[in-house]
Chains A and B, each alone.
Chain A
């Protein structure tokens, strides 16, 4: 039985475990029907031309984790930010772990979707936002919707500035021989509110893990979102991240995606501008090797006038790794004075590494500024000699140049412990013991 068939037939079992009377359940039922029609995406689809899921989908994943593993904080504390007070939402093999988490209902809601979907107090927010922004033709988002049950629920009311960042970590422990996870997250920032969120998926096992995540984020007028995705998972884990961000006027939503690990990582990052004077910022650093694949598909829908979008993605590829960058920008007819900027710079360190970079601009307004640039190159040979002539060994010299290449993406990281963590991962990934302290 194929994984798609297995998932469809598992839906009945899933229904035994949830409240089928809730209005959300109609959404799930519709979604599984649509998924059954579409199936998983394949390389015939334009959006999946460079990324094949074949190797990920061939495993016979456990869909509902049965065995429970308990994690002790001391064994996993390295995965949390150092010296930083945070709210914590920790999931272990798909289930919420209250002992490792630090939630809040004190003027804000930082808790879990299973509660939000079932408790009446949240029903207004759920019916207003849940599943309203996803692409109803995207089979992976539909699949996640069908099995939506658990994940992050964050609601920041009007004028509230979250004083601590929220750390979200999804652990996989290897309790099952193979495991598929489908976290579903809903994040709502009301007018003039602010929040910082850090999301990590971390497998603690070499068992195959496949995560198909959907995150819906709503950023109301004048609100500020600062979101960090730290993707440094091990080589038997794959992640499909579908993130949908809807912004109202004068809001700012910034997403940094740091992709260093995983077997296959696909980031579908979608922005919808629903008002004027919106700023949408996407930044990324990808450093991969061996047979890793990282695919960034961004979409910015400029549907209103006077908005901006900024995209800056850097990629460094070695081994036989493959990178994909596809940046789609749509500027509607009414979206005059749009300023859309897109930049994708890549370094190929080996002959066998590949980058497929594609800007995709669909512009229907006439008074706009849209720029895009893509570069693919190698490390500067002369610069390498310059560093080595000063006594910096080849490996460190390469690392320093690589870091320098990606460095400007780190400048916009506002949380110092996130920045130092990324620097450490980069040094580790490049196999050097350099602090990169500037």
Chain B
């Protein structure tokens, strides 16, 4: 589904990623771990199409198409979803209005007609329930005054609504207490199927007790320095990142 080949990325002339290779197939869960500053968030932003990052070399192929030149919204239309580490507060736009606009934008891009209001409402209710989100919460301004846990749950709620092929969860576990973590992980697990894939980006192994990865990759100084199965995550938890370097 996703194939990253020798990806080099700079921000304001400073190299951050130095030759990333990654293959993600449908049905798989990949975890990308690494110390702060190793380039984890850069990788997720670049896959999602953030124009602040400059790809200096390499390719990102998604569903057999090179997406390097595509805008963020075009990548979303193709089925890429990024759960933000720091979801942005947008006063004046409610969660419901936001998700409606997003869904209909995606449908429009695929030349499909807008989702009827009753169907939309039903889906919103269903997915809100899955993530134990109160309906009052949906009429609040997007992320404004939300707690850390509420923001992250709201991200996964959006993922559930948009049903992407590839979900990138960027530090979704940060700022979550154990109950919220379980809700989020449960949501992600329920949304899994053989046709979609998940990349979990995390500093800690904690989330991986609940979202079990098929592969674990360690990122260091903009390169994947080690790959393995889920036992690698435990090893990192015990020994820290120093032995990898």
Q: Which residue of chain B lies nearest to A405 when distances are taken between CB atoms in the complex? A: B92
By the criterion CB–CB under 8 Å, are B101 and A434 in contact? yes
By the criterion CB–CB under 8 Å, are A438 and B94 in contact? yes
By the criterion CB–CB under 8 Å, are B73 and A404 in contact? no
Q: Render B40-69 as a binary contact track against A, CB cut-off 8 A, 1 for contact.
A: 000000001111100000000000000000
What's the least CB distance linking A295 to chain B, in Å? 26
Q: Render B58-99 as a binary contact track against A, CB cut-off 8 A, 1 for contact.
A: 000000000000011101110001101001101111101110
CA distance A82 to B80 in the complex (A): 41
Which candidate, A127-135, A164-172, A385-393, is the interface stretch facing chain B? A385-393
Q: Render A359-403 as a binary contact track against B, CB cut-off 8 A, 1 for contact.
A: 000000000000000000000111101111111111011001101
By the criterion CB–CB under 8 Å, are A400 and B72 in contact? no
Chain A CB within 8 A of B4 CB: no
CA distance A215 to B196 in the complex (A): 64
What's the least CB distance linking A23 to chain B, in Å? 52
Which A-B residue pairs are the 10 nearest by beta carbons? A404-B92, A391-B76, A407-B92, A388-B72, A390-B102, A391-B106, A386-B88, A388-B73, A404-B93, A383-B88
By the criterion CB–CB under 8 Å, are B48 and A389 in contact? yes
The interface residues of chain A lying within 8 Å CB-to-CB of B75 are: 389
Q: Which residue of chain B lies nearest to A396 when distances are taken between CB atoms in the complex? A: B105
By the criterion CB–CB under 8 Å, are A386 and B90 in contact? yes
Known: A385-B50, A386-B84, A437-B97. A391 touches B102 (CB 8 A): yes
CA distance A145 to B49 in the complex (A): 60
By the criterion CB–CB under 8 Å, are B49 and A389 in contact? yes
Q: 15 A–B contact pairs at CB < 8 A?
A: A385-B72, A388-B49, A388-B71, A389-B48, A389-B72, A389-B75, A389-B76, A390-B76, A393-B73, A394-B73, A400-B93, A401-B90, A401-B93, A404-B91, A404-B93
The interface residues of chain A lying within 8 Å CB-to-CB of B162 are: 390-391
Listed residue (B48, B72, B75, B76) with the most chain A CB atoms within 10 angstroms of its CB: B72
Chain A CB within 8 A of B178 CB: no
The interface residues of chain A lying within 8 Å CB-to-CB of B81 are: 389-390
Name B residues whose Cβ lies closer than 8 Å to a Cβ of A.
48-52, 71-73, 75-77, 81-82, 84, 87-88, 90-94, 96-98, 101-102, 105-106, 109, 158, 162
The interface residues of chain A lying within 8 Å CB-to-CB of B51 are: 385
What's the least CB distance linking A137 to chain B, in Å? 41
What's the least CB distance linking A59 to chain B, in Å? 40
The tally of residues in A whose CB lies under 8 Å from a CB in B reads 28
What's the least CB distance linking B82 to chain A, in Å? 5
The interface residues of chain B lying within 8 Å CB-to-CB of A438 are: 93-94, 96-97
CA distance A20 to B72 in the complex (A): 70
Known: A388-B71, A436-B97; 13 extra A-B contacts, CB below 8 A, are: A389-B48, A389-B49, A390-B98, A390-B105, A391-B102, A391-B109, A391-B162, A400-B93, A403-B92, A407-B92, A408-B92, A434-B101, A438-B93
CA distance A320 to B37 in the complex (A): 42
What's the least CB distance linking A430 to chain B, in Å? 13
The interface residues of chain A lying within 8 Å CB-to-CB of B91 are: 404
The interface residues of chain B lying within 8 Å CB-to-CB of A405 are: 92
What's the least CB distance linking A125 to chain B, in Å? 43
CA distance A367 to B59 in the complex (A): 67
Within 8 Å by CB of A391, from B88, B92, B94, B105, lies B105
By the criterion CB–CB under 8 Å, are A394 and B92 in contact? no
The interface residues of chain B lying within 8 Å CB-to-CB of A382 are: 88
Known: A390-B102, A390-B162. A380 touches B88 (CB 8 A): yes
CA distance A381 to B90 in the complex (A): 12
CA distance A423 to B96 in the complex (A): 18
The interface residues of chain B lying within 8 Å CB-to-CB of A400 are: 93, 98, 101
Q: Which residue of chain A lies nearest to B99 when distances are taken between CB atoms in the complex? A: A390
What's the least CB distance linking A411 to chain B, in Å? 10
The interface residues of chain A lying within 8 Å CB-to-CB of B72 are: 385, 388-389
What's the least CB distance linking B155 to chain A, in Å? 10
